[in-house]
Structure 1
Amino acid sequence: MQKKSFSLLHTVATAGVFSAVSFWYGFMFGRESARKELGHLIETLRRSNSDPPASSVPPSPLEHSS
């Protein structure tokens, strides 16, 4: 009887560790993916802000917020 309960406990612990590791890797992969995507957006915005302003282009909605 003791052997079976240890085996069940071992299985549950292994599944818990696997779940935690899978969650961590998924979280880190998602964070890295978002960082790359936002990095591209930030670079695009920086390039557009470094260009001389054109008088025919209306300001973006973000500039209107106070």
Structure 2
Amino acid sequence: MQAAKNVTLLQAVAFAGVFSAVSCWYGFMFGRESARRELGGIIEDLRSGSGSSTGSTASPESEAHPKP
């Protein structure tokens, strides 16, 4: 006899809910970190007096840590 493990509908829904909550949490945290970096660059541009930010300007983080 094979001992098949039966998963109830309630267990499947609970697992899906937990997985969804964890996925949303990680997405929120990574999105927040990305937005924080972007806003930090904009704030530094404003503080340095360069009111116009274009796509060709380097971010303060890339200036602080040049690539080798």
TM-score bucket of the superposed structures, by smaller chain: 0.5 to 0.7
Cα-to-partner distance string for 1:16-59 (whole Å, 9 max, x where unaligned): 000000000000100000000000000000000001247xxxx4
Matching residue of 2:33: 36
Note the aligned Cα RMSD (angstroms): 2.2
Q: What code does the residue aligned with 1:42 have? A: L
Partner of residue 52 from structure 1, selected from 49, 52, 63: 49
Deviation, 1:11, is: 1.1
Q: TM-score, normalised by structure 2?
A: 0.62
Q: Which protein, 1 or 2, shows the higher relative CO under an 8 Å CA cutoff with sep ≥ 6?
A: 2
Count of matched residue positions in the alignment of Structure 1 and Structure 2? 49
Partner of residue 17 from structure 1, selected from 14, 35, 44: 14
**Bigger-Rg structure (1/2):** 1
Rounded to whole Å, the distance in 1 between the matches of 2:35 and 2:17 is: 27
Q: TM-score, normalised by structure 1?
A: 0.64
Runs of 4+ in 1 over 4 A off after TM superposition: none
Structure number having the greater helix percentage:
1
Give 5+ residue unaligned stretches, structure 1: 1-7, 61-66
